[in-house]
Amino acid sequence: MASNSSNPAGAKVLSLETMNPRVRVMEYAVRGAIPIRAEELTAQLKAQPGSLPFAKVTPCNIGNPQQLKQKPLTFLRQVSALMEYSELLAPERIEQTRALFPEDAIARAQRNLAFVDGAVGAYTQSLGIAEIREDVARFIEKRDGFPASASNICLTAGASGAVERVLDILVSGPEVGVMIPIPQYPLYTATLAHLDAQAVPYYLQEEHDWQLSIADLDRALGEARARGVDVRALVVINPGNPTGGCLTEANIEEVVRFCERERLVLLADEVYQTNIYTETNPFVSFKKVVSRLGSPVELFSFHSISKGMIGECGRRGGYYEAVNIDDQVMGQLLKLASVSLCPNVQGQMAVDIMVNPPQPGDASHAQYTAELDAIYQSMRRRAKKLAEAFNSLPNMSCNDAQGAMYLFPKVELPQAFVDEAAALGQQPDALYCMRMLEATGISVVPGSGFGQVPGTFHFRSTFLPPEELFDDFIAGFKGFHLDFISRYAGSQQ
């Protein structure tokens, strides 16, 4: 048999040189070099307690609430437990079960098990369980005051899976471009790199609480089209990740009209829609504005169980709603869903609880709403406290978090440090964040991982550390930053 002349004997067939180059160029800063180093330091502390200047690593690099001890919602876990071990619902055990579980949790588990003929480990419909999609449609109708149809809803393995699927069907070749906000959640640049498509950046307005500028959208679109890019879509993240900003309804209407005028598909990432901490900018969905305007704009909107007060990131549950999408394209989206067989079943069940929680009069309603409110109020307090801490420090400024789980402070790095980073071949904000990690155990993400206005430096931090430990977390960060500024003060020109 003839050998492969391009592959010398003994060499690996699959290598960095032979692998898919589009995967090689992908970057995902949220789980990049700093989180990898954080894992190494965690392992070191486990093997050698006391060997570092901090007792534990605090992972503020990712919106993963339960990793930082946010308690799961009792009702959701009760229903999940009963569905996973449905023998507890058998007639001969039901009285014992009633002594341990509230009646509405038992009823919900029985109801949802009926959706899958009692087989929670079996495949479901590719678009997701029909009854749950109907519950999602009712949730959207109640939220927005406009009709929604289960036939336009697809349940997915988290919102990330939904975004990837929609981008997959949008991108037909390397000339296709998608407008993305800067700063942005790196899922978008990573997925576009994987698809060999072009990211077309537009800048959010930090000086105006991270609102969108139609003038900058026009600039970015015009420059891209002048280069021959076939710009087909606009991504908006609202509430914002990593910024924590929340768009006004007037700004949303401007964006919808822009997409109408420029014939762009609109992708609305709305996974933080319940994480709102301001009275001035309440969450308004793009679906609501599109419906109110009677707009023909083609819209995909995304939601997830990973955020909000639920925080069930690992269950991988989410959905997208498609509005004004061509029927034949909807058929192709069904085909894409079919290739993956079906979404995670327990993720689907958690979506059902998110959109159809216990109602007034149900046995679990009081506890469910109390748990939601406790998490929300704590998150709101932590967001305010961390923003105040950042704004109290020299060389740092930060907009308040209007929504989401993050703050994105701007840091004025001393020129001597910028020069030092350049000599090391590193981004200055990435080096700052690595130094912070190795001094304090606090893991954040540099702004260069999300994109930022050239010449500015930022980092993204969650405000998810437990409230009882929050003062220590802030003190650790403050101590590092003040020492850092002091160390480079003598080097300033």
Determine the Cα angle at 69 with ends 63 and 71, to 5°.
Answer: 100
Who has greater pLDDT, 316 or 12? 316
pLDDT of 492 over the 90 cut: no
Beta strand pairing call for 265-269 and 299-304: parallel
Q: What is the mean pLDDT of residues 431-445?
A: 93
Q: What is the mean pLDDT of residues 435-457?
A: 91
pLDDT of 377 over the 60 cut: yes
- Specify the fold of 130-355: Aspartate Aminotransferase; domain 2 (3.40.640)
Q: Say which CATH class 21-69+369-489 falls into.
A: alpha beta
Q: What is the mean pLDDT of residues 127-145?
A: 95
Q: What is the mean pLDDT of residues 180-184?
A: 93
pLDDT of 461 over the 60 cut: yes
To 10 degrees, what angle do helices 327-339 and 158-170 make?
Answer: 130
What average pLDDT does the structure give for the chain? Answer: 90
pLDDT at site 31 = 62
Percent of the chain with pLDDT over 70: 96
Burial of 301 (0-12, 13-18, 19+ CB in 10 A): buried
Q: What is the pLDDT of residues 67-90, one digit of tens each?
A: 788 899 999 999 999 999 999 999
Q: What is the pLDDT of residues 285-302, one digit of tens each?
A: 999 999 999 999 999 999
pLDDT of 20 over the 90 cut: no
pLDDT of 251 over the 70 cut: yes
pLDDT of 2 over the 60 cut: no
C-alpha 260: how far from chain center:
26
pLDDT of 5 over the 60 cut: no
Question: Tokens representing 167?
Answer: 């981008």
pLDDT of 345 over the 70 cut: yes
Q: What is the pLDDT of residues 218-248, one digit of tens each?
A: 999 999 999 999 999 999 999 999 999 999 9
pLDDT at site 396 = 94
Number of other CB atoms surrounding residue 59 within 10 Å: 20
Report domain extents, the chain: 21-69+369-489, 130-355
**Residue 493 — very low, low, confident or very high, per pLDDT cuts 50/70/90?**
very low
Rounded to 5 degrees, φ, ψ at 424 are -90, 0
User: What is the rounded distance in angstroms from the CA atom of residue 156 to the CA atom of residue 302?
Assistant: 10
Who has greater pLDDT, 26 or 32? 32
Percent of the chain with pLDDT over 90: 69
94, 103 contact by CB (below 8 A): no
Rounded to 5 degrees, φ, ψ at 282 are -65, 155
- CB neighbour list of residue 84: distance below 8 Å, 6 or more residues apart: 120, 346
Q: What is the mean pLDDT of residues 126-143?
A: 95
pLDDT of 53 over the 70 cut: yes
Q: How far apart are the first and last CA of the chain?
A: 69
Q: What is the pLDDT of residues 201-222, one digit of tens each?
A: 999 999 999 999 999 999 999 9
Listed in sequence order, the DSSP H helices in 172-285 are: 187-194, 214-226, 249-262
Listed in sequence order, the DSSP H helices in 276-400 are: 286-293, 327-339, 345-355, 365-391
